[in-house]
Amino acid sequence: MTDANLQEENADLRRRLEEAEEVIRAIHSGAVDAFVVAEPHGTRVYTLQTADRPYRLLVEEMQQGALTLSDDGTIAYCNRRFADLVGRPLERLMGVAFRDFIPLDAQIFYESLLQQGRASAGQGEAHLLKADGELIPVFLTFNALPPDTGVAFGVLVTDLTTQRHHEKLNTAVEALKESDRRKNEFLALLAHELRNPLAPIRNALHIMRLTEGNGKEVQAASDMMERQVGEMVRLVDDLLDVSRISRGKIDLRKDRVELASAVHHAVEAARSLYENMKHELTVTLPAQPVYLNADPTRLAQVMGNLLNNACKFTDEGGRISLTVEREGEQAVIRVRDSGIGIAADQLLRIFEMFVQVDTSLERSVGGLGIGLTLVKNLVEMHDGTVEVHSAGAGQGSEFVVRLPIMVETPEPPPEPTVSEPTTTLARRILVVDDNRVSADSLARLLQLTGNETHTAYDGLEAVQAAATFRPDVVLLDIGLPKLNGYEAARKIREEPWGKKMVLVALTGWGQEEDRRKSREAGFNGHMIKPVELTALMKLLAELQPTVASAS
């Protein structure tokens, strides 16, 4: 072999050695998955299970987004999970700045994470911006990578959506548990409060039976029963109101109201309470009348509830004041008492539903913890505010209600001329209620006040009784079996004899919607149960002053 041949062979061997070294380097760096070798009987493909293949699989298949970023924060590598998270195609993500996925208001936070990551590691919660604008809650971890890797940061992105969802569910479950607990407590309290007036009523009944004929005893017992029933009706009314308010089903019947007249009504209604407790009540009104655009009954209810509380939570012989002042375009009503006061930590809570400072069943004053909830809701429905002040236990309390004043005060509408109600008019009255005790007792009451009555207990019976008894007035319950009150009223109105009858709906529902329905069905009037005799007489006098004949 010549020198030249030897040199050529040597050069060939070197080239092949270099090639082999390059292949080994490629295999080491993971750049080769398989290679093809020409063998005497054909070519063969060798696939490589590189040493770092398990790690690559881990990164590619993991449930977290994984990225590497160069020093300026652009993406050098990212896995498919990250691409899915941000809703972009994987192949378009290389070279994109990571900050493009961070919402504007979190950019500073992102910068600080990057700084910490550069030092060693940084982590925190943030949101990532998806291609469709949705924000995904994530936990980000930034790690500095060794300098010889050619990239600066390794980033892990954990999607927190499911976790957040669970957290929300847990919070909702806790809130439900709390409200369930409060409701249970409330039911116990309700039973207790409704039962309280029943014992004296039962006693009074025994007294009446035992002292039959003794007018004085009967009078005292029936006075007491009336007070207790009044208390129960008030509780049940509050309950109905509060449930309507929480279902957004309360209507205000707003009108031009002079505040002083609403004050007068509230004070009158509370009279027996403050007189029994021997409280001294001072009422101060502004010299000029103040007009509001308000529902007069609800306004009186607000002040009534505050006065009621002032009386209840003040020991006998206390001082209570109700003042009304005009401050700019607001009417300011202050109800102040010299009573037990309210601790600072309770001041905000007491307007919440069912909240009472003293919840022991042995407490001396009754109540359901809904009066102030009603006050707050009613005041807010009038675009007003209510706040409470107290210097603490034993220091008295002050409730301040602010309501917008009607600035222009148009001429008051002329007073409707209502003929004086009288109970001496005798009418033929048909009373219809499926609650027999209610129907019979109302009919008896109407007989005692000089009327002729007949009763019916379902809708069909009502129409038949109207046909045979031919009443002047039908007091018709709405929720009736067989034929409801609206249907019965329509049937009566269809008959020639039914056109002139006065039909009054008796229902538990006084919403505008219910009144509209009863008007449409042909009713002349609408009363809410339990009916008060004087209110019924007044309504009848207004509706039918001429039909009745004097007895």
- CA distance linking residue 513 with residue 499, whole number of Å: 24
Q: Give the nearest distance from C-beta 116 to ligand ADP in angstroms.
A: 50
How many residues are given for the chain? 551
Eight-class DSSP state of 530:
S
**Complex with ligand ADP: residue 193 or 477, whichever CB lies closer:** 193
Closest residue to ligand ADP, judged by C-beta, is 367
Rounded CA separation 19/436 (Å): 108
Task: Return d(Cα 438, Cα 427) in angstroms, integer.
Answer: 19
Q: Which residues in 359-418 contact ligand ADP (CB under 6 A)? A: 367-373, 397
Angstrom distances, CA of residue 413 to CA of 160, 249, 255: 64, 29, 10
Among 159, 241, 295, 337, binds ligand ADP (CB under 6 A): 337
- Site for ligand ADP contains 525 (CB under 6 A): no
Site string (475-504) toward ligand ADP, x via CB under 6 A: ------------------------------
CB of 303 to ligand ADP, least distance (A): 13
Q: How far is the CB of 276 from ligand ADP (least distance, A)?
A: 17
- Of 331, 350, 386, 501, which lies in the binding site for ligand ADP, with binding defined by CB under 6 A? 350
Q: Segment near ligand ADP (CB under 6 A), from 20-28, 34-42, 245-253, 351-359? A: 351-359
Residue with tokens 């033929």: 428
- Number of CB atoms found within 10 A of residue 35's CB: 13
Q: Which of 65, 122, 339, 510 binds ligand ADP (CB under 6 A)?
A: 339
- Of positions 27, 208, 283, 357, contacts ligand ADP by CB under 6 A: 357
Nearest distance in Å: CB 481, ligand ADP:
36
Three-state SS annotation for 54-71: HHHHHHHHCCCEEEEECC
Please work out the total of residues on this chain that contact ligand ADP, with binding judged by CB under 6 A.
20
Residue number, 320 or 503, with CB nearest to ligand ADP = 320
Nearer to ligand ADP, 157 or 350 (CB): 350
- Please name the amino acid found at residue 120: S
Please tell me whether residue 65 binds ligand ADP under the rule CB under 6 A: no
Strand partners, 326: 331
Q: What is the 8-class DSSP label of residue 388?
A: E
CA distances from 386 to 261, 374, 382, 522 (A): 20, 11, 11, 41
Give the Cα separation of 229 and 532 in Å (integer). Answer: 12
Least distance CB 337 / ligand ADP (angstroms): 5
Q: Considering the complex, state which of residue 86 and residue 302 has its C-beta at the smaller distance from ligand ADP.
A: 302
Piece in contact with ligand ADP (CB under 6 A), picked from 94-102, 208-216, 335-343, 462-470: 335-343
Q: Give the nearer residue to ligand ADP in terms of CB position, either 372 or 527.
A: 372
Rg (CA), the chain: 41
| Residues 263, 289: Cα–Cα separation, whole Å | 12
Cβ distance 321 to 281 under 8 Å? Answer: yes
Per-residue contact flags (x/-) with ligand ADP for residues 281 to 320, judged by CB under 6 A: ----------------------------xx--x-------
The Cα–Cα gap between 354 and 239 comes to: 11
Instruction: List the x/- string, 124-163, binding to ligand ADP by CB under 6 A.
Output: ----------------------------------------
Task: Report the alpha-carbon distance of residue 170 to residue 146 in Å, rounded.
Answer: 42
Q: How far is the CB of 235 from ligand ADP (least distance, A)?
A: 9
The rounded distance, in Å, linking the Cα atoms of 343 and 38 is 93
342 makes contact with ligand ADP (CB under 6 A): yes
Which residues, in sequence order, are bridge partners of residue 502? 473
Residue number with CB closer to ligand ADP (291 or 399): 399
- For residue 416, what are the contacts with CB-CB under 8 A and spacing of at least 6? none
20 vs 348, beta carbon nearer ligand ADP: 348
Token readout for 511 is: 């919403």
Among 67, 290, 340, 539, interactor with ligand ADP by CB under 6 A:
340
Burial string for 506-543 (b: 16+ CB within 10 Å, else e) reads bbebbeeebbebbeebbbbbbbbbebeeeebbbbbbee
Question: Residue type for 175, please?
Answer: A
Q: Which positions lie near ligand ADP, rule CB under 6 A?
A: 309-310, 313, 337, 339-340, 342, 350, 355-358, 367-373, 397
